[in-house]
Amino acid sequence: MLSLGLVSGAIVAKDVNIKVVDRTGDKLFGKQLEYPATFDKVPKIQSTTPLSISFKAETADADTPLRLDQALVSFQHTATGNEVALPAKAVGKSGVFKMEITRKLFRKHFDSAPGKYNVALVLGSYTEGGLFYKLGDVFMAESSSKSQTSVASPGYGPKEEIRHRFAESQRMPNVVVSLVFSCAVVVPLVVLLAVWARLGVNVDNLRKEAAGSIAFLGLVAAYMSLAVAYWVGVKLFPTLAYALVLALPTFVTGRYALSKRIQKGI
């Protein structure tokens, strides 16, 4: 806490302006003082209504601006005695010092400790001494955002039981239906092989053009395997991509095998 025993030496505070404005710029409170006068009204300060205090420091025997080594605005809580000292900064070379409580400073220093504060200037110069100048009292109000947050914030204690519901298993077709469908898929291949055997297909001629025939029939078998893979579980778009990859080699090898068989008269 800053000592209240500081007395005025050769320092005099002049043109002390206390101002409180709202967010639109309208003045809610304003007072101009000359040492040692004080203001009687207690203005209410909120985070949205900043308080600004400006003043000049001069020597007692000469009306010349004084360079201060310390320029503070003291806020002392009347109930707890706790004190907040905010620096007043020089404004250019005019000799004016100014302190302003921004929204950030208000939340940092006063939002958690609302109430009535004694306001005083605490000035000091290495060559001219010091000055403790009580200006008056202000009331720091608790911000509405904090009160709403405190009301809305949940308290400690048991919470509601979280009940998790697992996804229900999908309904699958009857096993008989699956077997019937599988048989229906296999039947055309069996019928094809039976027809070939009944017509007397001669596979010996494949040996006369083994390279082209084997490559072509291998790619056809790859297509059939791709169809089975799609039926088992491969997605549609990957299946189409693999089919496009097999398309060109199948066409080339089929054309090559047929042309060779024609040339050889098989």
Residue range 7-22: average pLDDT? 79
Quote the pLDDT of residue 5.
40
Residue range 207-211: average pLDDT? 69
In a domain, 250, yes or no: yes
What are the tokens at 176?
């008989």
Structural domain boundaries, residue 54: 11-143
Quote the pLDDT of residue 1.
43
* DSSP strand pairing (44-45 vs 83-87): unpaired
Predicted confidence (pLDDT) at residue 84 exceeds the cutoff of 60: yes
Instruction: Give 20-32 pLDDT, tens digit per residue.
Output: 988 777 888 888 9
**pLDDT class of 165 with cuts at 50, 70, 90:** confident
Quote the pLDDT of residue 208.
66
User: Which residue, among 11, 118, 24, has the nearest Cα to 61 in the 3D structure?
Assistant: 11
Quote the pLDDT of residue 87.
92
Q: Are residues 132 and 21 in the same domain?
A: yes
Q: Provide the domain count of the chain.
A: 2
Q: What does the alpha-carbon distance between residue 68 and residue 70 come to, in Å, rounded to a whole number?
A: 5
Q: Are residues 183 and 125 in the same domain?
A: no
**pLDDT class of 155 with cuts at 50, 70, 90:** low
In a domain, 158, yes or no: no
User: Apex CA 149: angle with CA 143 and CA 150, to 5°?
Assistant: 95
Lowest mean pLDDT among 1-10, 12-21, 188-197, 212-221: 1-10
Q: Which residues have a Cβ under 8 Å from the Cβ of 153 and sit 6 or more positions away?
A: none
Predicted confidence (pLDDT) at residue 137 exceeds the cutoff of 90: yes
Quote the pLDDT of residue 135.
93
**pLDDT class of 244 with cuts at 50, 70, 90:** very high
What are the tokens at 30?
């304003």
Q: Are residues 135 and 179 in the same domain?
A: no
Q: What does the alpha-carbon distance between residue 35 and residue 131 come to, in Å, rounded to a whole number?
A: 10
Quick one: DSSP state of residue 65? B
Beta strands, E only, the chain: 11-21, 27-33, 44-45, 51-59, 70-77, 83-87, 89-91, 96-100, 115-125, 129-140
Predicted confidence (pLDDT) at residue 169 exceeds the cutoff of 90: no
Residue that wins the pLDDT comparison between 156 and 46: 46
Q: Are residues 181 and 242 in the same domain?
A: yes
Quote the pLDDT of residue 9.
54
Q: Are residues 20 and 111 in the same domain?
A: yes
Q: Which residue's entry shows tokens 């693999």? A: 242
In a domain, 167, yes or no: no
Q: What does the alpha-carbon distance between residue 261 and residue 255 come to, in Å, rounded to a whole number?
A: 10
Q: What does the alpha-carbon distance between residue 26 and residue 19 come to, in Å, rounded to a whole number?
A: 10
Q: What does the alpha-carbon distance between residue 242 and residue 250 come to, in Å, rounded to a whole number?
A: 12
End-to-end CA distance of the chain: 114
Q: Are residues 120 and 50 in the same domain?
A: yes
- Helices 236-264, 210-232: axis angle to 10 degrees equals 160
**pLDDT class of 200 with cuts at 50, 70, 90:** confident
